[in-house]
Structure 1
Amino acid sequence: MPPYRRFRLSLHRHTQTILKNKSNQKFTKSWLIWVKLSLSASVPLMIAIFTIVSYVQQMQINEHNRQQDEELANATREKDISIANLTRIQDHMIANITRYHDLEIANLTQIKDWEIAMANLNIANETKMQDRQIAEDNRKEDRIQQQDLHYETLYSKYIDDISTILYKEPHNQTTFTNEEKKMLYIRRKTLITLRTIDSERRSQLFVFLYENNLLPDQSSPLTTISLMGADLRNITIKSPLTGSYEFNSLTLQSLNLMNAVFIDCRFRGGTNLSGSILTNVQFIGAVFEDNLDAYKVKLINASFTDCIFKKKIIIEDSDLRYAKFIRSNFEQLSFVSINFTNGSFINCKFSGETNFKKSFMNGITFTNSEFETNKQNEFDHVSLDYSYFNNMSLANTTFQYSNLSYTDLSNTHLGNVQFTSKILLINSIFYNTNFTEVNFTHVNLSGARINMSYFQDSQLYNVILPNGTWLINHDNLLKNGNAEKYCWWPYKENILTQWKEEIDAPILYHHNITQLDSTNSSIGNCSFACTNRHLCSMRQLIELKQFTLFIDSNELEYTVSAYFGSNNECELGLISIWIVSYEGRFKRQLRNPYIKSSNNFIKWQQKNDTYKLSKMNGDLYYIRITFNKYSTSCYVDNIEFHLRKSSIYNLN
């Protein structure tokens, strides 16, 4: 029997039992009926649900199988396509490799052919160049030989011609009427020949002139020739082993000696190089027995090595840029108005007076050199910016109106050296410098690197110290501003010492003893006054040259002060103290205040004025005292003029 039949039969039996036991309960019977109906209906429902679920599951299984079949088919198709693509790519790569190899073989073959062709071409070109170079060298050698032969011919002809004139021509058959014309002919012949021959034969020609006493000699102008305008470039004059060449009173004026060399030569009787071009000239072992004069000379990059100057050397208004003096001795030296920028004195000795004036010597070097202690040396109006004075003795030397900014004076002995009259030593270096009696007057040392202990034995006057501090003279710069010079009672005449009369001179008014009291103790015996009813005026010139360093800084101010007095009544402004620049561009006035006194006692009031001085107004000023009309009862005394550093940096 099927299970559901058994279940149904069992359910029926239980239901009958329950109905029998509770037949009397109507409600219970009804409930059981509903239960029975529900259970009866649930079986088909479950079967239906089971059938639907089974169908759905079968559909899902079929769909899954279909998708798997489709994916398998797609994978198989993609694999076939991939295999086909790989096969095609491999075939393409094989074809490309084969083509590349073919091209490479073709290129290598072409390159090899090109290299062979280029090698052949290079060989041909090199052969051609060698042939051309050989031909050019041969032509050059031929030209040199021809040129040398030409120079030799010209030189030989010159020697023969001059020798004939000097030695072979009979005296009674001379072609020249006098010696002067003969020398003039030799000069023309010499100048023309010098322009047409080379430097080697120029040197030989110069020696020929020397040996025949034809070189220009100041002491024998009629028997020697002038070489003005001569071309003596690149000559080399070297004394032979048998003895030095000795040039007497040699005059080499207004000629070209560029790149010339003089070795072991002696110059006697004074040598003159004025107006000549001596750029790159070299004097080696030369001895100048007498003066050497050079005016308007170009000595650019010239060198004097192991030279001795026994007398005075004077070079003026010349260009000596980069010139060098090495291991040379000077008896006296005077350089005036020269440009000696970046020049040098190395291991030199200055035995006599040495003067450098009005020159540019920026960047010059003095190294291991010595100035004689008992001679006076001077640098006057010289620009020495960025110069070097190292490892040397600088004695008895005065620097004035010169600029030594950024100059290095390290390891140098300064003995009795005067830095005076507007010297600039800004940012200069004094490292390990030995000071002996060194004085600084009117010197700007701003930023200088110097040990302050060096100043212990030095005199400092109107100096700007390295830290910017001013050591300025604060004294009264007016002379006899207190009217006490030649002041006596009774006075015999009016003497305005130190003052100059302009209109009517003021007088020295001697105070009556009854007019003085304890408040007048600083006034003295006399004052300035005007005894007539007309205008009185006097003036005094004040020179501020010793303060120009401070004036140039635009930080200098003056204070003018005076005592104004009256024994009666003095109206405002009857006395004026004018400060006027020398050229009149600056004027400023200090006037008396109103003063009223009684009992014939002189009442005094002090008044002052402070103002900044501009460098545009120069360093000369007038102090003018003016008494206007009706100032007979007005007095002025103790007039003073002081200078100091201003604390205000703008003009009032």
Structure 2
Amino acid sequence: MPPKQTERHEKPYMTWLKLALGALIPLAIAIGTVVITVQQQHNEDRRFQQTQDNENLRREQDQQQADNLHYQNVYSHYILDISNSILKQQSQTTTFVDNRSRLDYIRSQTLTTLVDLDCQRKTWLFEFLYENKLLPSHRQSISMNLQGTDLSCITLKSTISKNFIFNGLVLSSVDLNDASFIKCHFLDCADFSDSSMEHISLIESSFHCFHGTNLFERAILSHANFYRVFLYNASFNEADLTYANFTSTVFGRKIVLTGADLAFTTFKDVILEDSFSMIITNANMTGASFLEDKSLTKAMSQGLIEIMNVILPNGTWLLNETRNWIKNGNTETNCTSLDIPDWQEISSSPDRMLPTLSIIHLNESVKSSLGSCSFNFTAAATDTRVSMAQWIPFGDISKFIQSSEAECHLSFDTKCQGGVIQVHLYSFTSSPNFPEPSVFLIDGTDQLYWQKRTISEKIRFDTGTVEVSIERSNHTGLCYIDNIEFYVRRSE
């Protein structure tokens, strides 16, 4: 290519290059300006945030100081007031009518003060009551009632210089959540019934009771720590012990866990005294490490632990499914009498009557299954209702009912000519309302012969009692019922 032509081709490139270089300078300046501005804004935001944090910290410190001053004033006023009450009583210049009224006054002041204190001053107040022998005890003829008090998060720990010994302490229906009693000694049977004690720590404390029982009945002890605790005669009836820790716990004499919830409770390196025995009935042991502890499994093999009607750690049911919950369902109790034991009238209405008892006259093979008597539901008139009812309480197997996996099986033998048998199942709960029944209708037959009838139904989780009522009405044909049975089983 000739030189002049090459020069003409190079000039546009140089022009564009110069333009690009000329644009880069203001672009770089703009970028630099933006970066500097962003950095300055970031620094400004950091300074503002730091100022805010310092201000918030100052406010928190001021609020904490104000709270501490308030707590201290409330506590000091309480101590002065109660001390004056004690001194007045001792100097016999009291304005109280008697010791009962004085203790009632101290109780009212204690209840109102505790809700306005922090954990540290709650502990000081409890120690004040302890030192002045104002804590309730079943050993005293008259003592202060602390039911309903807020003692959550108090912390007491025995040391070489100060040893906490409680004699017959009664702290029932008290809030002891997150409280700690470390290396404390409870003598002459303590009572913590109905108290809320979630996450309580009882590490290395001891509970002695030689003439009675340490009571933790119906207490909420979820996540409670019983590490190296000594328990001698204790009842945990209906207690919530879910996720509780019984590592290295010493069990002595009789330990009762009837109705307890032991789900995911830890039992490890447990120590059993020579006089040990344990009862576990109607309990939920799902996920508990009970069967993994060598001492406990050995005690079971020796018959020292009674386990009945429980949900085992692996979730299986240890339930007597062959138990007939109906009493006198075969009519053989006082068969020749006019009364029908264990059954009641549904109502006292004149158009209702209990069935009578009839002697069965059949061959021996049939008698072996039906017995000697049956319920006679034959009505004298079409407007007469023959009916009877029986109530079945589930208190002994409440943990199975609460699992929502229980079902009932009602069966009976019938020999009815025509008509309809009505079976009503009423599930009573804690609700004050009368329950709607489950109704089952059993038709009679054209000819008289015995046949087995069976009814199955899931049981509501909150059922406490079931009423079974059987009724026949609007028919005068012969009707007999026998072998009424009611079983509770796990639904498939």
Residue 380 (structure 1) aligns with: 217
**Which runs of 5 or more residues in structure 1 are unaligned?**
1-69, 71-194, 227-247, 256-272, 295-308, 598-602, 648-652
SS of aligned partner of 2:485:
strand
CA distance, structure 2, for counterparts of residue 356 and residue 286 of structure 1: 17
* 1:261 paired residue number: none
- Aligned sequence identity (%): 27
2:407/2:459 contact within 8 Å kept: yes
- Report SS of the residue matched to 2:242: coil
Change (3 A) 1:631 1:556: farther
Distance 1:214 1:339, change over 3 A: closer
2:193 matches 1:357: yes
Larger of the two Rg values belongs to structure:
1
What is the correspondence of 1:458-469 to structure 2 with a 5 Å cutoff?
Answer: 458-469=305-316
Note if 1:319 corresponds to 2:150. yes
Distance 1:357 1:250, change over 3 A: closer
Query: Residues 530, 478 of structure 1: CA spacing in aligned structure 2 closer, same or farther, 3 A cutoff?
Result: same
1:510 partner letter:
I
Instruction: Give the CA deviation at 1:547.
Output: 2.2
- Alignment partners' CA distance in 2, 1:611 and 1:412: 43
Which of 440, 463, 467 is residue 589 of structure 1 equivalent to? 440
Question: If the length of structure 2 is used for normalisation, what is the TM-score?
Answer: 0.69
Structure 1: distance between partners of 2:313 and 2:478: 52
Match of 1:238 in 2: none
Matched position secondary structure for 2:193: strand
TM-aligned CA deviation for residue 517 of structure 1: 3.9
Shift of 1:314: 4.7
Task: Name the residue aligned to 1:507.
Answer: 356
What secondary structure does 1:536 align onto? strand
Question: Letter of the aligned partner of 1:643 in structure 2?
Answer: V
What letter is aligned with 2:399? L
Q: Secondary structure at the match of 1:520?
A: helix
Cα deviations by residue, 1:91-141 (Å, 9 ceiling, x for unpaired)? xxxxxxxxxxxxxxxxxxxxxxxxxxxxxxxxxxxxxxxxxxxxxxxxxxx
Q: How far apart, in 1, do the equivalents of 2:205 and 2:141 lie?
A: 17
CA separation in 2, counterparts of 1:451 and 1:367?
23
Mapped to 1, the partners of 2:205 and 2:152 lie a distance apart of 19
Contact 1:312 1:332 in 2 (8 A): no
- 8 Å CA contact retained: 1:565, 1:634: yes
TM-score by length of 1: 0.53
State the match for 1:389 in structure 2: 226
In structure 2, relative to structure 1, the CA distance for the partners of 1:499 and 1:389 (3 Å cut) is: same
Q: Using the TM superposition, give the Cα deviation of residue 286 of structure 1 relative to its aligned residue in structure 2, in angstroms.
A: 8.4
Q: CA RMSD in A?
A: 3.5
Partner Cα distance (1:225, 1:314) in 2: 17
TM-aligned CA distance change 1:619 to 1:631, over 3 Å:
farther
Q: What's 1:545 paired with?
A: 395
Q: Distance in 2 between matches of 1:637 and 1:225?
A: 69
C-alpha spacing 1:358/1:253, structure 2 compared with 1 (3 Å): closer
The superposition leaves residues 630-649 of structure 1 with CA deviations (integer Å, 9 ceiling, x where unpaired) of 344110000000001011xx
Matched, 1:449 2:289: yes
**Is the Cα–Cα contact under 8 Å of residues 559 and 641 in structure 1 kept in the other structure?**
yes
Tell me how many residue pairs correspond in the alignment: 378
Query: What displacement does 1:220 show?
Result: 5.9
CA drift at 1:392 = 1.6
Alignment of 1:158-197 (within 5 A): none
Distance 2:399 2:333 in 1: 32
Q: Pick from 236, 245, 248: which aligns with 1:399?
A: 236
Name the residue aligned to 1:620: 465
Q: What do residues 208-258 of structure 1 show as CA deviations (whole Å, max 9, x unaligned)?
A: x97xx88653466745799xxxxxxxxxxxxxxxxxxxxx98975666xxx
Confirm whether residue 497 of structure 1 aligns to residue 345 of structure 2. no
SS where residue 420 of structure 1 aligns?
coil
Helix, strand or coil for the counterpart of 2:169?
Answer: strand
SS of the residue aligned with 1:551?
Answer: helix
Give distance in 2, aligned partners of 1:577 and 1:286: 60
Given the alignment of the two structures, is residue 644 of structure 1 paired with residue 489 of structure 2, yes or no? yes
SS of 1:548's partner is helix
Specify every segment of 5 or more residues in structure 2 that has no aligned partner in the other structure, as ranges.
4-68, 159-163, 347-351, 429-433
Contact 2:135 2:169 in 1 (8 A): no
Which residue is equivalent to 2:277?
A: 437
Structure 1 segment 418-433 matched on structure 2, within 5 A: 418-421=256-259, 423-433=260-270
Q: 1:250 & 1:530 partners in 2: Cα distance? A: 61
